Chains A and B, each alone.
Chain A
Amino acid sequence: MSSASLGRTNLRARSAIRAAFTLLVAAAAYEAVARSGAFPKALVPTLPTVAHTLLDMLLDGTMLRHALYTMYRVLVGMGVAVAIGLPLGILMARFRAVEGFFMPLVAVLMPIPSFAWVPLFILWFGLGNTATILIVVYAATFPMLLNTWTGVRSVNPIWLRAAGAMGARGTNLFWKVIVPGASPFIVTGVRQAFLRAWIAVVGAEMIAASAWGLGWVIFDAKEFLNADIMLASLAVIGAIGFAFERLVFGSLERATVMRWGMVRAAKG
């Protein structure tokens, strides 16, 4: 037991070192280009300059405020997307009539990039949070919906039989068998929805948001040729996205489907 967990810690440490190595090589390559003099310093700032800008923005609180705006839009949008995608996905998988009605709509809407809706949403809802959040909802709903739909259809029929034999009906069957039975797909749906939402929010903020948000600050920095601000914001976008995807949803996965043995951890 302890030697196994020690082995796991070891493996984790080693994969972290490997990842750090990759990132260091990439950073060094960028730094070499920035210092080569081939490009103007203002357009390709060195990493210490970017780090300095990032630190300033963190210390004066502006970066935190931008990040909080963006997080707020993503989380509200995600919440709405889950509230639509989860029940609708389950209903589509359980009732043929619901599936028959919504499937054509999903098939037509899904291939449209959420970003393509931005100008229309601005016309309808004006600049600001509403339009931005709706873009997030649009981007995140489909992965949530499709994964849930597939998950419910792949619930092992023997669980339904066993549960039925033990008198499970209606909401009990729904919450205590179907939802946990579909949970590997539902968790995947949430993770994919977050990634799509995170990509969509930055794009939407560039056009539809005003004054705050990580996407907005990047777009705004273009006006003043502030490449260091852009890169500092990109670093924050990447870091938050990574933290959420890996830590928040990763630990959701470890606490549920991996703990239950329904999904295995990758080897090595």
Chain B
Amino acid sequence: MHHIEVRDVTLVYDTPGGKVPGVSGVSFALEPSEFLCIVGPSGCGKTTLLNILAGFLAPAVGEIRIGGKAVTGHGLDRGIVFQDFAQLFPWRTALGNVAFGLEMKGVPKEEREAIALKQLELVKLGKFAHAYPHHLSGGMQQRVAIARALAYNPAVLLMDEPFAALDALTRDEMQRLLADVWQATGKTVIYVTHNVAEAVYLADRVIVMTPHPGTVKAEIRVDLPRPRDPLSVEFLEHQKALLRHLTEQAVPA
């Protein structure tokens, strides 16, 4: 059985300027522990799709099933990491942020802090457990956000361009770290990005979306061994193939 099934999902935004299609007839499926990247230009509906998966938005048509159960609203079976560094609670330390989900679940303080500390160590921030977010760099804040989304042990990790606002060097480092974390935890990941190299580096499979309305245009499997070498010929070929799909659609129909 598929872990995640997205079937014919359609959502239309009702704006003062009229109806704007968000996503239209999107379908795909993920196996357990699969890493899927969704790539597309801005306005292609990739963030909308992620918000539907997260349960923040309800599709007008179609349905999403996770572990066989239809998604209605958000749930602790999914962890979410946003692009905005401000997603962390500034009034809580790194540890307090990571422990939040467990606290909501009613896990006792000692236990949840032990788990949170382990998660922070997984993203190599054990030493910064008691720092407040504003004392951490952007990359560190995003690592705390990843630890926070993993702490209550969801089966699925949803990530919306989490490294897009980081500098290139930090981004590379974060991609390596995320690949390690994913291999260590075996989560099913859906990762939205507009960065083609990032998608080829991280994903088992890449879905290319096109805007107006947001639909799936192509699907590319990345069968390269890990850890991947971004300078290898095979890597660059995958990148080229993806870019071709993306640039074709840029020409107005």
> C-beta contact mask, A36-77 vs B, less than 8 Å → 1, else 0?
000000000000000000000000000000000000000000
A122 in the interface (beta carbon within 8 A): no
Q: Which B residues are in CB contact (< 8 Å) with A256?
A: 91
Interface set, chain B 71-121, CB cutoff 8 A to A: 74-76, 78-80, 82, 84, 86-87, 89-91, 100-101, 103-105
B212 in the interface (beta carbon within 8 A): no
Q: Which B residues are in CB contact (< 8 Å) with A162?
A: 80, 82, 87, 89, 148
Cα distance A57–B52 when bound, in Å? 71
Whether the Cβ atoms of B132 and A259 lie closer than 8 Å is yes
Other A-B contacts than A168-B100, A261-B135, 10 sampled, CB-CB below 8 A, are A158-B84, A166-B104, A166-B148, A167-B75, A167-B76, A167-B101, A169-B104, A180-B89, A181-B89, A259-B132
Cα distance A166–B116 when bound, in Å? 14
Cα distance A165–B134 when bound, in Å? 22
Whether the Cβ atoms of A177 and B90 lie closer than 8 Å is no
B191 in the interface (beta carbon within 8 A): no
Partner of B91, one of A158, A168, A183: A183
> C-beta contact mask, A178-192 vs B, less than 8 Å → 1, else 0?
001101000000000
Q: Which A residues are in CB contact (< 8 Å) with B134?
A: 260-261
Cα distance A158–B47 when bound, in Å? 14
Pairs across A and B, CB under 8 Å, 30 listed: A156-B86, A158-B82, A158-B86, A159-B86, A159-B89, A161-B56, A161-B80, A162-B87, A162-B148, A163-B89, A163-B100, A165-B78, A166-B76, A166-B100, A166-B152, A167-B76, A167-B105, A168-B104, A169-B104, A177-B89, A256-B91, A259-B132, A260-B90, A260-B91, A260-B132, A260-B134, A261-B90, A261-B132, A262-B90, A262-B91
**Of residues A161, A165, A183, A259, which shows the largest number of chain B Cβ atoms within 10 Å of its Cβ?**
A165
Given A259-B132, A260-B134, A261-B133: A164 in contact with B89 (beta carbons within 8 A): no
Cα distance A165–B105 when bound, in Å? 12
Closest to A164 in B: B74
> C-beta contact mask, A252-263 vs B, less than 8 Å → 1, else 0?
000010011110
Number of A-B residue pairs, CB cutoff 8 Å, is 66
Whether the Cβ atoms of B87 and A159 lie closer than 8 Å is yes
A172 in the interface (beta carbon within 8 A): yes
CB of B228 to closest CB in A, whole Å: 30
B residues contacting A by CB (< 8 A) are 54-56, 74-76, 78-80, 82, 84, 86-87, 89-91, 100-101, 103-105, 132-135, 148, 152
A residues contacting B by CB (< 8 A) are 156, 158-159, 161-169, 172, 176-177, 180-181, 183, 256, 259-262
Cα distance A172–B104 when bound, in Å? 7
Cα distance A172–B74 when bound, in Å? 16
CB of A22 to closest CB in B, whole Å: 33
Q: Which B residues are in CB contact (< 8 Å) with A165?
A: 54-55, 74, 78-80
Q: Which B residues are in CB contact (< 8 Å) with A168?
A: 100, 104
**Of residues B80, B104, B134, B148, which shows the largest number of chain A Cβ atoms within 10 Å of its Cβ?**
B104
Cα distance A25–B82 when bound, in Å? 56
**Of residues B79, B91, B100, B105, which shows the largest number of chain A Cβ atoms within 10 Å of its Cβ?**
B91
CB of B156 to closest CB in A, whole Å: 11
Closest to B54 in A: A165
Q: Which B residues are in CB contact (< 8 Å) with A183?
A: 91
Cα distance A205–B82 when bound, in Å? 55
Closest to B93 in A: A260
CB of B27 to closest CB in A, whole Å: 24
Q: Which A residues are in CB contact (< 8 Å) with B132?
A: 259-261
Q: Which A residues are in CB contact (< 8 Å) with B133?
A: 261
CB of B78 to closest CB in A, whole Å: 7
Q: Which A residues are in CB contact (< 8 Å) with B148?
A: 162, 166
Partner of A158, one of B87, B101, B104, B105: B87
CB of A171 to closest CB in B, whole Å: 11
Whether the Cβ atoms of A166 and B84 lie closer than 8 Å is no
CB of B103 to closest CB in A, whole Å: 8
Cα distance A176–B135 when bound, in Å? 21
Whether the Cβ atoms of B100 and A180 lie closer than 8 Å is no
Cα distance A163–B92 when bound, in Å? 13
Q: Which B residues are in CB contact (< 8 Å) with A181?
A: 89, 91
Partner of A180, one of B54, B74, B91, B135: B91
**Of residues B100, B103, B134, B135, which shows the largest number of chain A Cβ atoms within 10 Å of its Cβ?**
B100
Q: Which A residues are in CB contact (< 8 Å) with B89?
A: 159, 162-163, 177, 180-181
Closest to A173 in B: B104
**Of residues A162, A167, A259, A262, which shows the largest number of chain B Cβ atoms within 10 Å of its Cβ?**
A162
Q: Which B residues are in CB contact (< 8 Å) with A180?
A: 89, 91
CB of A149 to closest CB in B, whole Å: 20
Cα distance A142–B54 when bound, in Å? 39
